[in-house]
Amino acid sequence: MVKFDDVWLKYQHHGHAAAAAPDVLRGVSFEIPGGGFRWLTGPSGAGKTSLLKLIYLAEHPSRGRIDIFGTHAAKISRRDAALLRRRIGVVYQDFRLLPHLSAYDNVALPMRLARRNESQIHADVTEILRWVGLSGRLEALPDELSGGEQQRVAIARAVVGRPKLLVADEPTGNLDDEQAERLMTLITALNRLGTTVVVATHNQALVARYPAARLEMANGRLTSHG
């Protein structure tokens, strides 16, 4: 499902020589089978978010090979990459909601991009927003929502299309314990239905409550796998 083979990453910014940029990931190799669940842990700056970006095809590695859904990521066309992204649900650390769209429309966006019909969208979006406790806030804009509510909208958007791969970056960071539990119930339920899950977190208590294999990172390297 997800396979990294000696993957390196350095960000190349305009005006900076590529050689001078530091490697944020160094020789990362691992494999997550279909339906697997992995915690991604490590201190801040360890490279967790960069690794997640490579998984959800937001970056190209500077070296090494990545296979997603059995496809060599570097070999696919832009169109096929976009179609692959539709099968990946992503919960961003900073939510990344569209500020001019309501909670409902934000969650509906991936389904509309996939050209689902409106009746199916309505059923799925209202159901998932009810699940995350936002059935009364469908028309609220992101600015009108609290941080926790925004995070729940972001989670709903990530899972509404029943993705084959779910990638979450600190998904419980702004949630209270009850909401965090509800979220983990949802994620584990998706995982049981076959969705491959990678969750980056600092929350060791959460990791302890939901035991699963770990990808542990430090200084851009994978220090523990399994």
Please give the residue ranges that form the binding site for other proteins (CB under 8 A).
Answer: 56-60, 78-79, 81-86, 90, 96-98, 100-101, 104-105, 108-110, 112-114, 118, 122, 125, 138, 157
Both tokens of residue 56?
A: 């959800």
Both tokens of residue 63?
A: 């070296």
Is the Cβ of residue 8 or residue 210 nearer to other proteins in the bound state?
A: 8
Q: Within 10 A of 99 (CB to CB), how many other CB atoms are there?
A: 8
- In whole angstroms, the minimum distance from the beta carbon of 206 to other proteins comes to 25
Is the Cβ of residue 88 or residue 190 nearer to other proteins in the bound state?
A: 88
Which residues, 6 or more positions from 195, have their beta carbon under 8 angstroms from its beta carbon? 35, 89, 162, 163, 164, 165, 166
- In whole angstroms, the minimum distance from the beta carbon of 79 to other proteins comes to 6
Is the Cβ of residue 23 or residue 105 nearer to other proteins in the bound state?
A: 105
- In whole angstroms, the minimum distance from the beta carbon of 32 to other proteins comes to 20
Is the Cβ of residue 81 or residue 189 nearer to other proteins in the bound state?
A: 81
Both tokens of residue 201?
A: 């977190």
Sheet of 221-225, strand order: 88-91, 165-169, 196-200, 37-41, 213-218, 221-225
